[in-house]
């Protein structure tokens, strides 16, 4: 977990530097105009609103450009509010991923080769829409003489420009951004196909397929160096209750040290689960450190897989039936709000298996 902490520190420093630079620019802008405290508060209010609207615009860019290039709609998320298409209607669910403000998940059409996979416009669409928004609203804000009327379009434009920068300039911090995805997929056709396979698997899970029902060739990531292929194979092994295989795969990914901070935390989360399920619990308290506990507890608010891990930890390792029951009940409450039907079925099956093991 030391690598995850170091990556998190680097990420926090970089984000603080970007935020600090943006704050200095905004402060200089406000001070130079001798704004009152009320005007300052009003401007900061529209910074928050501008960021939220900019996020919606960004994800809408992914949605529109993805649909125009042959993708199918899967889900649209802002914060933890997630919309999916179910029985021909849009329904609101609840989900979140650490390190992301939103996400538009689409499923690409079936492809036989990397050349057939339309990856560019889907990834570029979010930043493109932010750039268009900035180009429209910053000039409008500057042309309006009234401060209170100028702030909404001006802040929306500025925040959209910032979001375009953060998403299109290639960076691999907590999760790889759109620019990083585009750059790496241009360079490596294998990564392009693996990106396609991840999206197909995710789309099929949302459609109600359990991992065991998904075509096995989608889990064949070839000789890729990011570790994502082994993570996907480990998830398949966990679904099949082959915890020894999953444990080896996860440990192998961590030993290579090539995954980003979020994937490292995901690997450690599932490795914790596999250690419990295989009885490999020596030094478990040290392994389950503050960083990992914070990540799992935070993710468990919207991710049923983390409730499954905490349920196994409390029931099979800690032998605390009361605490375990709370985790079980929390998982059951997610039935009506969880967006991925196939993942939910798989996770509930694993939770019932843990329950049987704890009898």
Give the pLDDT of residue 261. Answer: 81
The model carries a pTM of 0.84
CA distance 139 to 46: 17
pLDDT tens-digit readout, 211-224: 999 999 998 887 66
Residue 211 near residue 200 (C-beta atoms within 8 A)? no
Confidence of residue 18 (pLDDT cuts 50, 70, 90): low
Q: How confident is the model at residue 29 (pLDDT cuts 50, 70, 90)?
A: low
- Determine the Cα–Cα distance for residues 194 and 220; give it in Å rounded to an integer: 9
Half-sphere exposure of 285 (CA within 13 A, CB side): 1
Report the C-alpha gap between 52 and 104 in whole angstroms: 15
Mean pLDDT across the stretch 258-266? Answer: 83
Give me the pLDDT at residue 9, please.
Answer: 45
| Strand-pair category, 72-78 with 81-86 | antiparallel
Q: What is residue 85's predicted lDDT score, i.e. its pLDDT?
A: 86
Better pLDDT: 226 or 59 = 59
Note the pLDDT of residue 278: 96
Alpha helices in the chain (DSSP H): 2-31, 37-68, 120-143, 147-168, 178-187, 189-206, 228-239, 243-256, 261-278, 284-287, 290-299, 304-312, 321-332, 341-357
Q: What's the confidence (pLDDT) of residue 224? A: 67
Question: What pLDDT is recorded for position 204?
Answer: 94
**What is residue 77's DSSP assignment?**
E
Structural domains for the chain: 35-184 (no CATH), 208-357 (1.25.40)
Count how many Cα atoms sit within 13 Å of the Cα of residue 141 in the half-sphere of its side chain: 20
- Output the pLDDT for position 331: 96
- How far is the first Cα of the chain from the last one, in angstroms, to the nearest whole number? 32
Return d(Cα 76, Cα 62) in angstroms, integer: 10
Q: What is the tens place of the pLDDT at every residue in 165-212?
A: 999 999 887 678 999 999 999 998 888 998 999 999 999 999 999 999
72-91: average pLDDT? 88
- Mean pLDDT, the chain, integer: 88
282-315 residue pLDDT tens: 999 999 999 999 999 999 999 999 999 999 999 9
> ∠ CA(312), CA(241), CA(108), 5° rounding?
105
The number of residues in the chain equals 359
């Amino acid at each position: 977990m030391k690598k995850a902490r170091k990556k998190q520190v680097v990420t926090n420093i970089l984000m603080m530097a970007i935020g600090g630079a943006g704050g200095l620019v905004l402060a200089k802008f406000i001070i130079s105009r001798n704004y009152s405290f009320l005007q300052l508060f009003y401007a900061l209010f529209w910074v928050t609103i501008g960021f939220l609207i900019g996020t919606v615009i960004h994800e809408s860019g992914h949605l529109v450009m993805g649909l125009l290039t042959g993708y199918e709609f899967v889900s649209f998320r802002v914060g933890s509010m997630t919309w999916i298409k179910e029985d021909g209607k849009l329904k609101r669910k609840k989900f979140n991923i650490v390190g992301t403000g939103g996400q538009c998940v689409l499923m690409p059409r079936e492809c036989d080769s990397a050349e057939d996979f339309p990856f560019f416009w889907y990834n570029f669409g979010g930043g493109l829409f932010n750039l268009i928004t900035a180009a429209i609203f910053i000039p409008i804000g500057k042309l309006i003489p009234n401060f209170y009327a100028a702030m909404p379009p001006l802040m929306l434009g500025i925040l959209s420009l910032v979001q375009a920068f953060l998403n299109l300039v290639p960076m691999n911090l907590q999760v790889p951004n759109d620019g990083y995805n585009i750059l790496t997929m241009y360079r490596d056709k294998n990564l392009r196909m693996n990106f396609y396979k991840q999206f197909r698997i995710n789309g099929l899970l949302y459609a109600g397929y359990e991992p065991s029902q998904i075509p096995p060739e989608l889990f064949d990531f070839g000789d890729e160096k990011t570790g994502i292929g082994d993570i996907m194979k480990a998830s398949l092994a966990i679904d099949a209750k082959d915890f020894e295989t999953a444990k080896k795969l996860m440990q192998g990914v961590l030993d290579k040290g090539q995954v980003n901070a979020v994937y490292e935390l995901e690997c450690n989360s599932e490795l914790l689960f596999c250690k419990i399920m295989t009885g490999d619990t020596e030094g478990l308290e040290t392994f389950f450190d503050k960083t990992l506990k914070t990540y799992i507890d935070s993710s468990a608010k919207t991710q049923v897989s983390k409730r499954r891990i905490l349920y196994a930890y409390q029931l099979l390792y800690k032998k605390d039936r009361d605490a375990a029951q709370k985790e079980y009940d929390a998982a059951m409450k997610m039935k009506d709000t969880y967006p991925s039907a196939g993942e939910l079925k798989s996770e509930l099956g694993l939770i019932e298996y843990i329950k049987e093991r704890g009898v």
